[in-house]
Structure 1
Amino acid sequence: MKKKAANKLKILNDPIYGFIQIPNSLIFDIIEHPYFQRLRRIAQMGFSNLVYPGANHTRFHHAIGCMHLMQKAIRVLRFKQVEISNEEENALCIAILLHDIGHGAFSHALEHSIVSGVSHEEISLKFMKKLNEEFNGELTLAIEIFEDKNPRKFLGQLISSQLDIDRLDYLKRDSFYTGVTEGNISSDRLIAMMNVKNDELVIEQKGIYSVENFLIARRLMYWQVYLHKTGLVAENILVNILKRAKELAEKGVELYCSSALRYFLFNQISTTNFTDETLEMFAKLDDYDVLSAIKEWVNHDDKVLSLIAKMIVDRKLLRIEIQQEGFKEGYINKKRDKAIKKLNITEKEASYFVFHQEISNQAYNLKSPIYILNKKGKIKDIAKASDQLNLQALTIPVVKHFICYPK
C-alpha cells in the first residue's frame, strides 16, 4: 500500500495575527524537526509569569510570529520595487524562524550558570549548521544572512538591527500576553513603512511617529516587564540554584535531575569543548528539566540548595531594593551579617542570599541607527529627524542598582 504524502502546507492560528501560513515544505520540515519543537518547552519570558500570570507563551510562538511578519515585510518591499529573489525570501524566513533556536531553558539564566561563556547566538548558529547538513545545504544562504555576511546589507538588518522583525514580534507578543498595553506597537504600520535605500533598511517619513512609539514602548516594556523587580529576583535566584547545583556536582554530591541536565551539571562546558554530543544534549534540555529538578531539590540535604529551590517553588522570593546609585559597602555587609545569623549559614553561603548588581537599559543605540527616508529621498537618523525632544534622551543608557536579601 502506497504511503500517503504528508500535507505540508499547513496554517496555524495565532492569537495576535490570526492565520499564519507555512510557506513551503522545507520550512514545514524545519518546524517539524525536534530541534525546533523543543522551543514549545521554553518560555519566552522566563519567570515573568510570577508577575504577569498570562506570560506563559513560548519561544515557539515567537519564532512562528517572526516568520509571519517576515513574509509581510518581503511583500511590502517587493511592492516597492526592491528586488528579493525566491531564494532570498526563503533564506530570510528560515533565518528569522531559527534566530532563537539556541536559547536554553529559561532563556538567559542558563548562559550565566551551567554553560560558561557560550551565548545563545553561538548555539543558534551551531543548530543551524547541523540542520544545514541534514537538509543538504538548503540553509546555506539563511546562515550567511544570519551571520550578516551577505553583501546585501538590508537582508541582515531585517534579522538583526534596532528595528528588526524579532523586536516587532516580541514587543507586540509580550505586551499581549502580559497585558501591559504600553508595549502594544503597530508592527503592521512599521512594516508597511519599510523601504530600502542605498542597501539600508529605512522607514519612510510617514512612519516616523510609529518609530517613536516603538522606541518608547520598548523602553517602557524594559522597565515594566523585562527588568521588573520580581522577575529580576526570580531569575537571579534561578541562576544561583543552578550555580549551587553545579558546585555540589563538582564535589560529587548526588542530585536528582534528568540526563540532559545532569550532563551540564556534571561536566564543565565552554566554547572549547562544545561538541556535537553537547549540542544533542542541549537539544534535550528545556524548562521542564529545570523545573522538575528544582521541585525535587526542595528536599535536598544541602541547606542552601533546598532553601533557594523552595523560594522559586513557593514564590517566596528574596526582597529587592532598586535605586539610581550603588549601595554602600556598610549596608551590604549589614544585610549579609543579618542573613548569616538568621539562616545559620557561612559567609560564603550568604552570597546565594545576599547579592547586588546593576541593570541598564538603552532604548536607542546611535551605533546602529534607524534611518528615516524623507520625501526628497535623503536618509536621516531618527534621533535627528524626530521633533520629539525625549528621543535624544532615549540614547542615554539608564543604569540602576539593586540588592537582594532575605525578608
Structure 2
Amino acid sequence: MTYSTEKLQEEKVFKDPVHRYIHVRDRVIWDLIGTKEFQRLRRIRQLGTTYLTFHGAEHSRFNHSLGVYEIIRRIVDDVFAPRSEWDQSERLVSLCAALLHDLGHGPFSHSFEKVFDFDHEAFTQAIILGDTGVNRVLSRVDESFPQHVSDVIAKTYENKQVISLISSQIDADRMDYLQRDAYFTGVSYGHFDMERILRVLRPREDQVVIKSSGMHAVEDYIMSRYQMYWQVYFHPVTRSSEVILTKVLHRAKELSEENYEFAMEPYHFVSMFKGDVTLQDYLKLDESIVLYYFQMWEEEKDPILSDLCQRFMNRNLFKYVEFDPSKEYKKLNKLEKLFQQAGLNPEYYLVVDSSSDLPYDFYRPGEEEERVPIHLMMPSGELRELSRQSDIVDAISGKRRTDHKLYYPKDCVMNDSTHKEIKAEIRNILGIN
C-alpha cells in the first residue's frame, strides 16, 4: 500500500452542524488537517467582520474547508465513482484541493487583501508549493503532486472536471458556505436542497453537469446565493465595520511610512507596510494577532488611529446614507471640504463603499473572465445552458446589481461643541437631523 492509498485504521469523524458528520479515512487528508498551516484556519473567521452584525457568525475557515472537503468526498466516492466519464485516479487531488482551497486567506480575509493588495489564492499556492508542512505531506504522495493540487486552485489543471467541482457557478465551495453562513448567522436565505443537487450531478467530458430533473433544486440554489449576498455578505453594518477595519490598517501603514513612533510597534505588519512580505511573515498573522494590535493602538497618541481602533473594538461604527458617486460627485467634493474644515480628515471619515454581485451568468465571447455556465443534461443526453430552460434564472442572468453607500461618523457630525455652523451644513447635505 502506498501513501496515496493508505487508510486510517479507524475512520475519523468531525461532528458538523451542516453535514452532521465529516468523514476522514485517507491518511493524506488526516495528515494535512494536522499541519500548522491548516490549523491556522481555526483562527480566521469565515465571514470576517460579519460577527459585528450577526453575533453568531464566529465560524472559521477551518470549519468551511472541512465542509467543502466532505461535499467533494461524497461526490467522488458516492456519485461519480461508478461512472465511466469520471477518472477515479483524480480522487485524491480533488479531495486535497477541496480541503486546501482557502489555505491562503489572511485575517479578516478580503478587507486585508484590499489594503495590502494581496491575493489569497496566490498565497494558497505559495503554501502548497513552499517550505511548509502541507507541502511535505503532499510531496509524500508524489513529487509532482503539490503542483497538481496548486494547479487545481489556479484553475489551470488539465482535468476541467476537477476544477469545476471546486470552482464554478455551482461548486462545493459555494454549496458549503451558503449553508454554513446561513446556519451561523441565523438567517433562512441560504438553505437549498443540496442532497438533491448531489444526486443529479454528472461528470460529462470536461465539465460537471446537472440532470434536467434537478433544475428546480438548482434554481433554489441560485436564489439562495442571490439573497445571501444582499442580506448577509453586503449588509450595510458589516460594510461599515469593514470600512473602519480597512482605514485602521491604512492609517497604521501611513504612520509607519512617516516614521511615526508607535507606543506598540507593529512588528507583525512591518514587512507588509514595506511591500516585501514573506510567506513566513504572512503565516504568523491571524485575527487574534490583529485584534491585539487594535486593542493596544486604542492608546496611541495619533488621534485618528486611536479613534478608529476604539470604534472597531467597541462597535461604534459609521452610519451611512445612500449615495451614487457617478451622479453626486459634486456633493462629495463639497462634503470633503466641509469635513476638512470641521477637523475630520475625509480620507478616514468620509468613505464611499460599493458592493456588486452577478448572481449567474453564461459565457460571452471576448469577456476577460470566462464564466463556465451551468449545463442541464436532458433525457436525450443533449446539454442545454441553464438560463435557456429556467425562466427564474433567465430573469436574473447577466444582470449585475450594484449598491453604493456613503459612510461617516454620525456622532462627530451631530456634536456641535465645535464647528457648529459647518456641521449644520454637513447634516443638511447628508439629509440627517
- Whether the TM-score (by the shorter chain) exceeds 0.5 is yes
Distance 1:134 1:79 in 2: 32
Q: Note if 1:123 corresponds to 2:123.
A: yes
Where does 1:226-265 land on structure 2 (aligned, <5 Å)? 226-255=233-262, 256=264, 259-265=267-273
Shift of the alpha carbon at 1:313?
A: 1.2
Which residue of structure 2 aligns with residue 393 of structure 1?
Answer: 396
RMSD over aligned Cα atoms: 2.0
State the Cα distance separating 1:374 from its structure 2 match: 0.8
Q: Is the 8 A contact 1:9 1:25 kept in 2?
A: no
Specify the alignment match of 2:171 in structure 1.
164
CA distance in 2, matches of 1:318, 1:147: 37
The alpha carbon displacement at 1:399 in A equals 1.6
Q: What do the CA deviations read for 1:85-135 (whole angstroms, capped 9, x no partner)? A: 2x411111110111111111101111111x23x311111111111246423
Maintained 8 Å contact 2:362/2:397:
no
Do the aligned residues in 2 keep the contact of 1:326 with 1:401 (CA within 8 Å)?
A: no
Q: How far apart in 1 are the matches of 2:256 and 2:400?
A: 39
Aligned CA distance change for structure 1 residues 354 and 261 (closer, same or farther; 3 Å): same
Structure 1 residues not aligned, in runs of 5+:
1-5
Residue pair 2:121, 2:154 contacting (<8 A) in 1 also:
no
| Matched residue SS, 2:299 | coil
Match of 1:383 among 369, 375, 387: 387
Equivalent residue of 1:183, what SS?
A: coil
Judge which range, 165-174 or 247-256, deviates more.
Answer: 247-256
Q: Which amino acid in 2 is paired with 1:350? A: P
Query: Equivalent residue of 2:349, what SS?
Result: coil
> CA separation of 1:229/1:326 partners in 2, compared to 1, >3 Å: closer, same or farther?
farther
| Pair 1:144 & 2:151 matched | yes
| C-alpha distance in structure 2 between counterparts of 1:171 and 1:56, whole Å | 15
Shift, 1:356, TM fit: 1.1
Q: Which residue is 1:321 aligned to?
A: 321
Q: What does residue 307 of structure 1 align with?
A: 307
Answer whether contact 2:165 2:208 (CA < 8 A) is retained: yes
Alignment pair present for 1:73 and 2:89: no
**Equivalent residue letter for 1:381:** E
Question: For 2:193 and 2:266, how far apart are their aligned partners in 1?
Answer: 42
Equivalent residue runs for 1:357-368 within 5 Å:
357-367=353-363, 368=372
Aligned to 1:3: none
Deviations 1:14-68 (A, max 9, x none): 1111121223122111111111111000010011111111000000000000000
TM-score by length of 1: 0.89
Q: Secondary structure at the match of 1:78?
A: coil
- Structure 2: unaligned runs, 5 residues or longer: 1-7, 364-371, 411-433
**Structure 2-normalised TM-score?**
0.84
Offset at residue 384 of structure 1 (A): 0.5
Aligned to 1:39: 41
User: Helix, strand or coil for the counterpart of 1:184?
Assistant: coil
Asked if 1:406 is matched to 2:409, the reply is: yes
Q: Measure, in 2, the Cα distance between the counterparts of 1:170 and 1:184.
A: 10
Paired AA for residue 357 in structure 1: D
Query: Does residue 218 of structure 2 align to residue 218 of structure 1?
Result: no
Which amino acid in 2 is paired with 1:396?
K
**1:79 positional shift:** 3.6
Distance of 1:321 and 1:394 partners within structure 2: 29
Between stretches 238-247 and 10-19, larger displacement belongs to 10-19
Is the radius of gyration larger for structure 1 or structure 2?
2
Q: Does the 8 A contact of 2:243 with 2:351 survive in 1?
A: no
